[in-house]
């Protein structure tokens, strides 16, 4: 079996400035399925084709941004092993009890040097995608509601010590580097794309002036045509669009960057290529960032390196 250890991104907890306005946005415009609310008034969502209970949690706050980003691992034994490996590498961890997030088992939580809180967990309740496990139809009505991505795909996080965060993901958690943007010195990485799977990235980091910043949470869409449909839906709903629709040179994915009602960037993303750990990394010298970011327009979008929540 190929995908072992850390399997995939599992959840992002995002801070919003007006909970009901953003809950409505994620439910009706992005088209996620609301799956629960907890005693802390957090609102839980999943994309229609995800089977686990949630992949996005919204929390009311007076500051926008991201509280934590979590990955699902393949077993409780792996969770224990990775916690030990993190500790041996000098990364302090803490255990968050099962049930602190709805339908979720115990989580191992730690901070990476970019100031982000990362979590690992092995258990989250399978609530299904609305289709039976025997003889399922290919989609259900929820697949047509709003933008309707099929899954939460990855996040791009911003902070100062990109090198330190990258090393933990590569040296301890088993990720590999797929692509990088490199500064004029030919060495310093300005951004890195890291995979724990066959995806071009499961998490990415960009060097940012402040720590703990959210660049975007990305949602997967099946086709470029549906990315264009997402653009229509964004415009119909006055969603502030940052970049796109276009195609990234980096990862080759079709994309739109846009913002939720609290200024947290999200991406609707499609395509890319299948990646393997033995493949040579792809390098984008920073003078080619314009086409790395927006291959169609070859345009340097200054907001890519400057706008975070």
Catalytic residue ranges: 154, 201, 216, 248, 257, 267
| 136 interacts with another protein by CB under 8 A | no
231 binds another protein (CB under 8 A): no
Bridge partners of 258, per DSSP, are 241, 266
Looking at the Cβ atoms of 4 and 237, the one nearer to another protein is: 237
Decide whether 196 or 231 has the Cβ nearer to another protein.
231
Complex with another protein: residue 87 or 211, whichever CB lies closer: 211
Q: Is 85 in the site for another protein (CB under 8 A)?
A: no
Strand order in the sheet with 203-207: 241-247, 253-259, 265-271, 213-220, 151-159, 203-207, 189-195, 176-182, 282-285
Between CA 309 and CA 304 the distance in angstroms is: 12
Of the candidate residues 7, 228, 300, 307, the single one contacting another protein (CB under 8 A)? 307
From the CB of 47, what's the least distance to another protein, in Å?
21
| Edge-to-edge strands, sheet with 65-73 | 33-37, 43-46, 56-60, 6-16, 65-73, 117-121, 107-111, 94-96
**Interaction between residue 169 and another protein (CB under 8 A):** no
264-293 residues in contact with another protein (CB under 8 A) are 264-265, 286
Select from 5, 130, 263, 285 the one that contacts another protein (CB under 8 A): 263
Using alpha carbons, select from 286, 25, 21, 243 the residue that is nearest to residue 146: 25
Q: Is the dihedral of CA 120, 10, 304, 187 positive or negative?
A: positive
Query: Residues touching another protein: how many (CB under 8 A)?
Result: 33
**Residue from the set 47, 162, 172, 234 that interacts with another protein by CB under 8 A:** 162
| Stretch near another protein under the rule CB under 8 A, chosen from 38-46, 131-139, 201-209, 225-233 | 201-209
Q: CB-based contacts of 286: which residues, under 8 Å, 6+ apart?
A: 181, 182, 183, 184, 190
The Cα 271–Cα 254 span in angstroms is 6
CB of 255 to another protein, least distance (A): 17
DSSP 33-94: EEEEE-TT--EEEE-TT--BS-SEEEEE-SS-EEEEEEEEES-HHHHHHHHHHHHHTT---E
Find the part of the chain contacting another protein (CB under 8 A) among 74-82, 95-103, 218-226, 299-307. Answer: 299-307
- Confirm or reject binding of residue 236 to another protein (CB under 8 A): no
Contacts with another protein in 24-83 (CB under 8 A)? 62-65
- Residue span 96-135 as binding mask against another protein, x where in contact by CB under 8 A, dash where not: ----------------------------------------
Positive or negative torsion for Cα 114, 255, 21, 126? negative
Task: Determine, following the binding rule CB under 8 A, whether residue 209 of this chain makes contact with another protein.
Answer: yes
Contact (CB, 8 A) for 93 and 86: yes
Give CA separation, 15 vs 19, 66, 182, 309, in Å. Answer: 9, 6, 31, 9
Give 189 or 251: the residue with its C-beta nearer to another protein.
189
Q: Where do contacts with another protein occur on this chain (CB under 8 A)?
A: 17-18, 62-65, 160-163, 183, 188, 190, 207-209, 240, 242, 259-265, 286, 302-303, 305-309
């Amino acid at each position: 079996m190929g995908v072992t250890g850390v399997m995939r991104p599992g959840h992002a907890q995002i801070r919003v400035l007006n909970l009901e306005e953003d809950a409505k946005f994620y439910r009706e415009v992005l088209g996620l399925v609301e799956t629960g609310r907890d005693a802390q008034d957090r609102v839980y969502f999943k994309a229609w084709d995800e089977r686990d209970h949630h992949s996005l949690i919204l929390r009311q706050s007076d500051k926008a941004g991201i509280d934590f980003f979590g990955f699902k691992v393949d077993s409780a034994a792996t969770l224990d092993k990775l916690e030990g490996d993190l500790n041996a590498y000098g990364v302090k961890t803490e255990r968050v009890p099962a049930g602190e997030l709805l339908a979720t088992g115990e989580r191992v939580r730690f901070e990476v040097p970019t100031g982000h809180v990362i979590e690992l967990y092995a258990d989250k309740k399978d609530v299904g995608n609305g289709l039976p496990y025997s003889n399922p139809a290919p989609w259900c009505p929820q697949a047509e509601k709003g933008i309707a991505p099929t899954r939460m795909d990855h996040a791009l996080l911003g902070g100062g010590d990109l090198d330190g965060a990258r090393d933990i993901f590569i040296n301890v958690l088993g990720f590999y580097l797929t692509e990088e943007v490199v500064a004029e010195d030919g060495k310093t990485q300005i951004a890195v794309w890291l995979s724990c799977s066959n995806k071009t990235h499961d998490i990415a980091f960009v060097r940012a002036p402040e720590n703990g910043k959210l660049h975007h949470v990305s949602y997967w869409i099946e086709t470029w045509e549906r990315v264009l449909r997402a653009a229509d839906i964004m415009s119909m709903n006055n969603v502030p669009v940052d970049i796109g629709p276009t195609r990234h040179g980096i990862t080759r994915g079709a994309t739109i960057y846009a913002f939720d009602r609290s200024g947290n960037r999200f991406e609707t993303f499609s395509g890319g290529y299948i990646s393997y750990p033995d493949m040579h990394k792809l390098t984008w010298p920073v003078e080619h960032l314009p086409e790395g970011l927006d291959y169609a327009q070859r345009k340097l979008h200054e907001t890519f390196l400057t706008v975070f929540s």
